Amino acid sequence: MHRSRRPIYPIALALGAMGLAAALLAVPFPKLGLALVCAGFGLSMILFEAVSGLRFPRRLIVIVTGFAAATLLLGEALQTYEELPWWDIALHGSAGTVLAAVGMALALLPTAGATPRTGLWILSVLAFGFAMMVGAMWEVLEFTLDTLFGTNAQAGGNSDTMTDTLANLAGALWGTLAAHLAVGTGRVWPPAGMLRDFIARNPVIYGAWRGPLDARASDPARQGHVGGREA
């Protein structure tokens, strides 16, 4: 397995130091503390790379860090949710888009990227379902926080929940379409570029990937193998 050359312990130490600093700064300088927490998301992904040997596309790390900043720092600390009512909707939509691409990456794992034995549309359904599942779990988390700790995550009640769910639905549909086209035809619509990059950077788990399915259909040598037989 390919291992990242990044030293694990310095990264872990830096992550721990950032967490401690964020905790100490949370009361006197809450915005600075949140900024460190947001940066910690990206550093956590780099640490995971060093431990697991997997490689994330650089832009995915930037997007995750930026998303954390958009929700925690801009949304909560700087009250962007109040100033821009569409901010929360945009975040839920973009999250659904990326999660659908993640779902497609997971759906390709059982065959290591080889030609699936089922139609590609089934993998797309799984990708869409994954994005919607995570979105639903997030709404459950918000409800739990409001119920147990008296927070105001679901400020608009049922209306807020349904608006978030619809935004996640729209994002998941777009992400699923983009992932379907990327795997099937090679067309790259955002965020499918990250999906293709992740597959290309991790041959250890996608060793049977031979490019888009349409190209394999016209070239038997690129079909890939599942279980020792040509798929």
One-character DSSP codes across 137-167: HHHHHHHHHHHHH---TTTTTHHHHHHHHHH
Higher pLDDT, 9 or 55: 55
What distance in Å separates the CA atoms of residue 176 and residue 156, rounded to the nearest whole number?
29
Say if residue 120's pLDDT is above 90: yes
pLDDT tens digits, one per residue of 39-62: 888 888 888 888 888 899 999 999
Report the phi/psi class of residue 28: left, alpha or beta, with left for phi > 0 and alpha for psi in -120 to 50. alpha
pLDDT computed for residue 28 by the predictor: 64
Higher pLDDT, 203 or 18: 203
Q: For residue 225, what are the β-bridge partners?
A: 230
Higher pLDDT, 191 or 13: 191
Number of Cβ within 10 Å of residue 207's Cβ equals 12
pLDDT computed for residue 151 by the predictor: 60
∠ at Cα 157 (155, 161), nearest 5°? 100
Predicted TM-score of the model (pTM): 0.79
pLDDT computed for residue 226 by the predictor: 45
Domain ranges for the chain, please list them.
1-84, 85-231
pLDDT tens digits, one per residue of 137-156: 988 887 887 787 676 667 76
The pLDDT > 70 percentage for the chain reads 78
Higher pLDDT, 131 or 4: 131
pLDDT tens digits, one per residue of 208-227: 999 998 887 666 555 554 44
Say if residue 119's pLDDT is above 80: yes
pLDDT computed for residue 1 by the predictor: 45
Say if residue 229's pLDDT is above 80: no
